[in-house]
Amino acid sequence: MTRGIQDKETYYYRRLMTDAVRVIDTAHAIDAIDSERIVILGGSQGGGLALAVAGLVPDIAAVFARVPFLSDFPRAIAITDNLPYVEISRYLATHRHEIETVAHTLSYFDCVNFAKRSTSPAWFSVGLMDATSPPSTVFAAYNAYRGPKTMSIWSHNGHEAGAGDDDLITLDVLSQLFS
């Protein structure tokens, strides 16, 4: 969470998000893959990466962002003392004069900002008892999302959200989209 956090050019998630986009670019370049049927699915960090890719790559057939981590950094850092967000707070506790610099860097990787650019159909899930990806941060990404969207809310679940039920929803949606 803090590797290279002093600058957007060196921040760890820059490379990770770039790699995720390159996976989709590679899929588009393979003749055996139907470019109109590319779907992105991820949970937690993968859910955040799904939102980042959806905001950076046009024409994704569907996005499944389960408990998307990396959303609404300012709020997440303020309300949870769970890993991995607490790593940023611990860093700032000893680098007190870098708060603005860190906030500036994180703004480039906040999935709320990618959600504002995303127009593909999306299915989100959230566990209302999730201390890892706090529900309000997931809702921030969901509310910012520009494309058609659906949210599965699991009132008594944590970071696993709907687990197998989320899988069933995904399979149902995919069967409807591609039948």
Task: Please tell me the predicted confidence (pLDDT) of residue 137.
Answer: 98
Beta strands in the chain (DSSP E): 39-43, 62-66, 122-127, 149-154
**Structure tokens belonging to residue 84:** 């991995």
Residue 1 included in any domain: no
Terminus-to-terminus CA distance in the chain, angstroms? 40
Q: What is the pLDDT of residues 121-174, one digit of tens each?
A: 999 999 999 999 999 999 999 999 999 999 999 999 999 999 999 999 999 999
The active-site residue out of 44, 71, 118, 133 is 44
Task: Determine whether 133 is an active site residue.
Answer: no
Q: Which residue has the tokens 């609404």?
A: 72
SS3 172: helix
What distance in Å separates the CA atoms of residue 44 and residue 163, rounded to the nearest whole number?
Answer: 12
Beta strands in 21-144 (DSSP E): 39-43, 62-66, 122-127
Residue 3 included in any domain: no
User: Starting at the edge strand that comes first in sequence, how are the strands of the sheet with 149-154 ordered?
Assistant: 39-43, 62-66, 122-127, 149-154
Give mean pLDDT, residues 8-34. 97
For the whole model, what pTM was predicted?
A: 0.96
Residue count of the chain: 179
Number of Cβ within 10 Å of residue 40's Cβ equals 24
What distance in Å separates the CA atoms of residue 130 and residue 13, rounded to the nearest whole number?
Answer: 22
What distance in Å separates the CA atoms of residue 106 and residue 125, rounded to the nearest whole number?
Answer: 23
Residue 4 included in any domain: no
Q: In what helix (H) or strand (E) does residue 21 lie, and over which residues does it extend?
A: helix 12-29
Q: Which structural domain range is residue 46 located in?
A: 12-177
Residue 97 included in any domain: yes
Among 21, 4, 22, residue whose Cα is nearest residue 13:
4
Work out the pLDDT band at 81, boundaries 50, 70, 90: very high
What distance in Å separates the CA atoms of residue 88 and residue 94, rounded to the nearest whole number?
Answer: 10
Residue 72 included in any domain: yes
* CATH code, domain with 117: 3.40.50.1820
Task: Determine whether 136 is an active site residue.
Answer: no
The active-site residue out of 118, 130, 133, 166 is 130
Residue 150 included in any domain: yes
Number of structural domains found in the chain: 1
Among 140, 149, 139, 143, residue whose Cα is nearest residue 119:
149
Give mean pLDDT, residues 96-100. 97
Task: Determine whether 175 is an active site residue.
Answer: no
The active-site residue out of 110, 120, 159, 166 is 159
Q: Are strands 39-43 and 62-66 parallel, antiparallel or unpaired?
A: parallel
